[in-house]
Structure 1
Amino acid sequence: MFDSGTMASRLTLTLAALGLAAFLQPALADPPRAVVELFTSQGCSSCPPADELLVEYSRQPDIIALSLPVNYWDYLGWKDTLAHVAFTERQKAYAHSRSDRQVFTPQMIVNGKKSCIGSDRNQIEKAIQATSKGSRTLPVNVTVHEQNGRVAIVVEETPDTMHRAAELWVLPVLKAQTVPIERGENRGKTITYANVVRGLNRVGEWLGGSARFEVPLETARSGGDAYVVLLQSTDSARPGIILGAAKGPGL
């Protein structure tokens, strides 16, 4: 016998389950409009406000926010526990690319091009607008997908012939790291850093067409608990404008 009440109840439960399943699906990351890199140091008394601002940017779905701790303030009495010489070299390479030779902390580099005071939100927002030229996303679309212990990275073809060559990088990050600082200019403070870069891994070269790259998931997350992907132009082996970027799942 057909029981309309039972069928209606089952249909309601089914629709509710489908709705719950859809709700529980992880949201796809928004295409990023900007990548902001903060060069910071635990030994820099001016850095904590910039570190806090980067935490705020890290929560914006259309921003990729990165902390790159540098080591040149270690002599002030506290050795930065997260710093790496590669980040110091990257900051200096940016300065050479811009030809201004400005290296300081806290320094924010926006989209691989504009230098800002890392705690100046207004200056950073203006730099994002200037480097994006009114676009809501970066010029080249980059997506990532994990399967069978590997990360597949897809770079889409772009009609812009000015963007014909770039390097693809995977950066492992720690999503959050809290550090109690015992000596130096920030003695007695406990600071939480967001998206702390733990490595700079070059994956390959992009020549302007559609392309697919793969790296082991272990490599992508090495030393961290998440990762980001950067597609960045180069000039005489120095970092240039960032053409595309993507967040790994969970970031």
Structure 2
Amino acid sequence: MQTARTRRDHRRFTRALALGMALGAFVASGIASAAGTLCNARSPAHRVALVELYSSEGCNSCPPADNWLSQWKDSGATQSIVPLALHVDYWNGLGWTDRFSQHRFTERQQTLTDLAGGHTIYTPEIFVAGRELRSWSQRDSFQSRIGKVVAEPAQANVALQLTPHAQGSFNVDAQFTSKAAPGAGALNAYLAVYENSLSSHVGAGENSGATLHHERVVRQWIGPVPLVAGSAQIRSDIRVDDANPDANAAAPADRFGVVAFVENAATGDVLQVAELAACR
């Protein structure tokens, strides 16, 4: 009896030890995974839809589009939707200067339009994965376009890493690799720094007297950086004060974030996207 009990006790101990080790490994893995997601992101095996809104504070039909885009401020990546708001400058001479506008966004909007065979740019205008979608406000039409993009295998990989430094600044390292078939054409890499929770009280123009709220506003833009031999890298030191001189460096870190993507230079098609909120 003593020998049998000893053997049973030994088996219980062994199982308990194995369970404890497994549980410890699981918890450690979870902690590592949680820590890793704060400052690292990698694009999935399927294509992700970059949704670009071209907007302006001088346009009275833009606020509804701004509000529409803001629904993916936090959870877009889980739905394979990565939103960006790019404020153009061609409304600035009509009564109100949009402080978030950049001429390069006007140029990008015109380039995407030209590549698709169009001629006229306007606000608000939506591009999904590099292609215009005029019916974006119709839920079924938008979801159909997203579904088609997500159903495709990724033709590129994007990896992001953010390393926090002093309060209000971080280093970003973006790696891009192509999975496209040979002969697919030249590919370019881009990096955008966005800011959330912005507002402006408009004093003139079509929105005079209104307080406008914005999410995912692009403040810095890097690119195009050509992929050479199927790969590219963008490394940059980002300072919150550079992105927005009026920002409070003590604001929540996820007020800022980065989006990195690969684009076909000949067609404007966005092949893959990754995003990551800033960390501390």
Find the counterpart in structure 1 of residue 197 from structure 2.
176
Shift of 1:142: 0.9
Q: Residues 220 and 227 of structure 1 are in contact (CA less than 8 Å); yes or no, is this contact kept in structure 2? A: no
Find the counterpart in structure 1 of residue 108 from structure 2.
90
Shift of 1:220: 10
Residue identity matched to 2:219: R
4+ long deviations beyond 6 Å: 11-17
Q: Once the two structures are superposed, what CA deviation does each residue of 1:77-121 show, in whole Å capped at 9, x if it has no partner?
A: 222121111111111111111112131111001111233255444
Q: Distance in 1 between matches of 2:203 and 2:42?
A: 37
1:217 aligns with 2:237: yes
Find the counterpart in structure 2 of residue 230 from structure 1.
261
Computing the radius of gyration from Cα coordinates, the structure with the larger value is 2
Distance 1:22 1:186, change over 3 A: same
Distance 1:234 1:90, change over 3 A: same
Match of 2:276 among 244, 248, 251: 248
Unaligned runs of 5+ in 2: 1-12, 165-169, 245-255
Distance 1:164 1:183, change over 3 A: same
1:19-168 maps to which residues of 2 (within 5 A)? 21=31, 24-25=34-35, 27=37, 28=41, 31=44, 33-58=48-73, 59-61=75-77, 62-116=80-134, 119-130=137-148, 132=149, 134-135=151-152, 138-147=154-163, 150-158=171-179, 160-168=181-189
RMSD (CA atoms): 3.4
Residue identity matched to 2:195: L
Unaligned runs of 5+ in 1: none
Q: Distance in 1 between matches of 2:157 and 2:222?
A: 20
Find the counterpart in structure 1 of residue 210 from structure 2.
189
State, as a whole percentage, how many aligned pairs show the same letter: 24
Q: Residues 125 and 132 of structure 2 are in contact (CA less than 8 Å); yes or no, is this contact kept in structure 1? A: no
Distance 1:220 1:159, change over 3 A: farther
Greater mean alpha carbon deviation, residues 111-120 or residues 76-85: 111-120
Greater mean alpha carbon deviation, residues 215-224 or residues 43-52: 215-224
Distance 1:220 1:90, change over 3 A: farther
Structure-1-length-normalised TM-score: 0.78
Structure-2-length-normalised TM-score: 0.71
What is the number of residues matched between the two proteins?
A: 238
Residue identity matched to 1:216: S
- The structure that is helix-richer by fraction is 2
